[in-house]
Structure 1
Amino acid sequence: MSARSGSSARPHKTNGPVSEAGFVLDVRSLGRRPGTMRDVRRTATDHGRLGLDLIAIPADAAVELDLQLQAVSEGVLVTGAVSGPTVGECSRCLESFDDQVGIRLTELFAYPDSATEQTTEEDEVYRMEDDLIDLEPVILDAIGLELPLQPLCSPDCAGLCPECGVLMAIAGPDHGHEILDPRWAKLASFAVDAPGTGDPAEGSTHPDQPASAADSAVVVSENQEEK
């Protein structure tokens, strides 16, 4: 049984009979005779997100509770399952996606006058107040441990192209970029701008191409010397 922060539970003050609603359970009908049990099955909503930054049960989403309450000598033991829809952002491709989360609860809520309540620190066990149990902090803690810190839309998500940021899922297997080592970038630009092709006869004029002005001057000078 895990001990979580009891200080995060919201106190509920009442002035008469209370009907159960949401994550709050009224356990007066259970009594305090050890072994007494009661099943709770309901759909609850919360006005805040339940989860982590990248993935959570969204506000006002339907959360299914399938629980059993059992009176024990020191309080009420709550066991059962909680499930609900999640909305997340994929940590690889940054696309939003929907999923489901399910958790198992086993938590003791101590009676106000029990030995457990009197001998434990406030953050070591949850307390019951005015015969009410608030499950929201319990569910919030359990969901936070169940959900992944780096959620994925699918286990094989390829993410984004590191060069252009396009989704690899739609870019296709042939998507790629010619990456030039920056140490050779200057040489590459020089090779493009430099005359010739690297042939041993570099600098010679192709028969089908007109000679440059400098080459023409050299040819005229040679002809005059021969005469």
Structure 2
Amino acid sequence: MHVDVKELKGHPGAQRTLSRTVDAPSGLGTVLVGIAEHSDLDLDLRVESVHEGVLLTGTASAEVTGQCGRCLDPLGYPLTVDVMQLYTWTPEGHQADGDDEETREVTAELTLELEPVLRDLLVSALPFQPVCRADCPGLCSQCGFRMEEDPGHHHEQLDPRWAALASLADTLNHDDEDDDASS
């Protein structure tokens, strides 16, 4: 995703708007939630020439899809992020090193590379732990039962420190039953 800014070079104050829908690139997401590759990514941007370079402002919108981190139900919602990025003019004879992620540069072809900026903004706006709703009870950690279907669902929890004694008690009870059966 590139934006041509040739007509803006050397004209501080000149600007143009850009409204378009593009295909979302791959990798915009995490394991559970993200923006599907080739889905619509709506851009409503303003490109303005400033003394230092080109200021890109506006919004980017897409539909987020994924799974709830608690119950694994599918989820989806719209996401809009604000875009504000300054691209600096590359000095003549200077090669962009690309190491500084805070500073973006206008390419030698006088274009703006949008994908890294949009990737940073969209992925960082995604929830770390996506949930279908705030009070989602999730799944039982032992058997995978949907806790929403029976909120009282539980398993008998035996303290692991007593497990050896419980095993010994079972053995002794079994031996007593065998003695009673033989008499």
TM band (smaller chain): 0.7 to 0.9
The answer for the alignment partner of 2:144 in structure 1 is 165
Structure 1 residues 1-227: aligned runs within 5 Å: 23-113=1-91, 122-123=99-100, 124-129=102-107, 130-170=109-149, 172-181=150-159, 183=162, 185-186=166-167, 187=169, 190=172, 194=176
Aligned residue pairs total 174
Q: Runs of 4 or more off by more than 4 Å in structure 1?
A: 117-122, 188-195
Distance 1:136 1:67 in 2: 14
Gaps of 5+ in 2: none
Q: Quick check: which has more Rg, 1 or 2?
A: 1
Per-residue Cα deviation, 1:19-38 (whole angstroms, up to 9, x for no partner):
xxxx3211224353111121
Looking at structure 1, the residues matched to 73 and 175 of structure 2 have their Cα atoms a distance apart, in angstroms, of 44
SS at match of 2:83: strand
Which residue identity does 1:169 align to in structure 2? Answer: E
Q: Name the Cα RMSD after superposition.
A: 2.9
Distance 1:119 1:60 in 2: 29
How much has 1:93 moved relative to structure 2?
A: 2.3
SS at match of 1:169: coil
> TM-score by structure 1 length?
0.65
Q: TM-score, normalising length from structure 2?
A: 0.79
Give the structure with the higher percent strand.
2
**Counterpart code for 1:63:** L
Identity level (%): 34
- Where 1:168 maps in the other structure, the secondary structure is coil
Shift of 1:193: 7.1
Partner SS, residue 80 of structure 2: strand
| Unaligned 5+ runs, structure 1 | 1-22, 196-202, 204-211, 215-227
Structure 1 pair 156/192, CA: closer, same or farther in 2 (3 Å)? farther
Q: In the superposition, relative to structure 1, how do residues 134 and 175 fare at CA in structure 2: closer, same or farther (>3 Å)? A: same
Structure 1 residue 118: deviation in Å?
8.3
